[in-house]
């Protein structure tokens, strides 16, 4: 296990917030993970787990504890039939490199989630999703290190309680578990999902009636590159807020005020609405406050123009939340993990 003291975290979070960690533990094997927990206990440290840093907001200048940076690698086929392959991937595997690998092999199930930054180990935490696909659709199981019991267990899809940007890891197992590997079941005969209009427009542009997983990946990459800010150019963590899910009755009332707002029924008989639209109608789209602001092309995304602290970004988020609440009576919730 590699230990660094007072390490800058600026390059380890896509917001580009400049802060440091007193102890930075680089974990490249399962054994090193055990050693890092022993080190943390021996030195009575608080800690958090870091993957690619693309869904966190560092709310401190200096973290007086340990950061466990998951750098384990490797993808292995653990089961195979004529219909599918099950691939077990180490926590530190880069998500998009994995998607590229599966697409090159013609496997289906994760292609719509192309270009999502971050690591495999973080993917179940918020059940990542994009353009009609979610991690849970292909998720088979995860090997999880329970930090109190100090043992690795396997959790099935049902046990992970996946929901929209939610899972057991954000609830009961928060702060008590470290994902060691994730197994996904991918189809050898892919069933493509082009329910999203923007994707269809790109896919069928040449009258191509038989798109492949590679066509889907190319379309998603094109769409995302147009819409979302590149964190290497402008600091951000993707969508900062979740899309609210409200009752049908509330949706009916809202629709009277905002006739153009769309709603999508969820399996819980709720209606999911666009947080971006509410933020935009509250006058925040493209608004800058100091070193941070709401991105001009996508109002779900908060950006760091350079030099913003975690608390500046957090305060901005709260002003947006308060304004939306005052205007529409809907309380936005945050998707990004605030670390303190």
Ligand X SMILES: Cc1cc2nc3c(=O)[nH]c(=O)nc-3n(C[C@H](O)[C@H](O)[C@H](O)COP(=O)(O)OP(=O)(O)OC[C@H]3O[C@@H](n4cnc5c(N)ncnc54)[C@H](O)[C@@H]3O)c2cc1C
CA distance 331 to 300: 14
Under the binding rule (CB under 6 A), the answer on residue 14 touching ligand X is yes
Under the binding rule (CB under 6 A), the answer on residue 271 touching ligand X is no
Binding residue (CB under 6 A) for ligand X from 178, 213, 219, 254: 178
CA distance 33 to 42: 14
Under the binding rule (CB under 6 A), the answer on residue 91 touching ligand X is yes
Whether 256 sits among the annotated catalytic residues: the reply is no
Under the binding rule (CB under 6 A), the answer on residue 71 touching ligand X is no
Binding residue (CB under 6 A) for ligand X from 16, 121, 211, 244: 121
In the complex with ligand X, which residue's Cβ is closer, 48 or 60? 48
Residue 108 half-sphere exposure, CB side, CA atoms within 13 Å? 14
Whether 165 sits among the annotated catalytic residues: the reply is yes
In the complex with ligand X, which residue's Cβ is closer, 282 or 304? 304
Least Cβ distance, residue 293 to ligand X (angstroms): 16
Please report the sign of the dihedral spanned by the C-alpha atoms of residue 9, residue 11, residue 15, residue 16.
positive
Binding residue (CB under 6 A) for ligand X from 36, 55, 181, 282: 55
Whether 35 sits among the annotated catalytic residues: the reply is no
> Which is nearest to 308 in space by CA: 13, 5, 6, 7?
13
54, 183, 239, 274: the active-site residue: 239
Under the binding rule (CB under 6 A), the answer on residue 94 touching ligand X is no
Under the binding rule (CB under 6 A), the answer on residue 54 touching ligand X is yes
CA distance 112 to 105: 15
CA distance 68 to 308: 24
- 271-273, strands of its sheet edge to edge: 245-246, 271-273, 263-265
CA distance 183 to 158: 14
Under the binding rule (CB under 6 A), the answer on residue 48 touching ligand X is yes
Binding residue (CB under 6 A) for ligand X from 17, 110, 228, 273: 228
Site stretch for ligand X (CB under 6 A), options 123-131, 212-220, 266-274, 315-323: 123-131
Grouping H, G, I as helix, E, B as strand and the rest as coil, residue 238 is strand
CA distance 149 to 16: 35
- The residues that are catalytic are 165, 239, 335
Sites of contact with ligand X (CB under 6 A): 14, 48-56, 70, 91, 116-119, 121-123, 125-126, 128-130, 178-179, 228, 231, 236-238, 337
């Amino acid at each position: 296990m590699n230990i660094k003291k007072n390490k800058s975290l600026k390059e380890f979070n896509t917001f580009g917030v400049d802060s440091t960690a007193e102890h930075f533990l680089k974990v490249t094997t399962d054994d090193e993970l055990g050693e890092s927990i022993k080190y943390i206990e021996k030195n009575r440290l608080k800690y958090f787990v870091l993957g690619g840093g693309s869904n966190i907001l560092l709310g401190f200048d200096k973290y007086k504890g340990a950061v466990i940076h998951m750098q384990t690698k490797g993808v292995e086929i653990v089961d195979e039939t004529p219909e599918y392959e099950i691939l077990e991937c180490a926590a530190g595997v880069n998500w998009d490199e994995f998607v590229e690998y599966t697409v090159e092999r013609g496997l289906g199930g994760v292609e719509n989630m192309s270009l999502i930054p971050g690591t495999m180990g973080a993917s179940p935490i918020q059940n990542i999703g994009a353009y009609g696909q979610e991690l849970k659709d292909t998720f088979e199981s995860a090997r999880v290190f329970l930090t109190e019991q100090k043992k690795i267990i396997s959790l099935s899809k049902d046990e992970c309680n996946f929901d929209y940007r939610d899972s057991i890891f954000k609830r009961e197992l928060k702060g008590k578990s470290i994902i060691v590997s994730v197994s996904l079941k991918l189809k050898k005969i892919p069933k493509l999902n082009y329910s999203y209009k923007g994707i269809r427009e790109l896919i069928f542009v040449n009258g191509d009636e038989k798109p492949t997983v590679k066509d889907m990946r190319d379309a998603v990459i094109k769409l995302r590159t147009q819409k979302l800010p590149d964190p290497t150019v402008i600091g951000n963590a993707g969508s900062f807020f979740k899309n609210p899910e409200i009752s049908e009755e509330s949706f009916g009332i809202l629709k009277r005020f905002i006739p153009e707002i769309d709603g999508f029924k969820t399996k819980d008989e709720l209606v999911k609405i666009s947080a971006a639209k509410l933020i935009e109608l509250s006058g925040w789209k493209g608004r800058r406050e100091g070193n941070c602001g709401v991105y001009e092309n996508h109002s779900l995304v908060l950006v760091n123009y350079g030099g913003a602290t975690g608390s500046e970004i957090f305060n901005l988020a709260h002003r947006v939340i308060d304004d939306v609440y005052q205007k529409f009576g809907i309380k936005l919730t945050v998707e990004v993990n605030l670390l303190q």
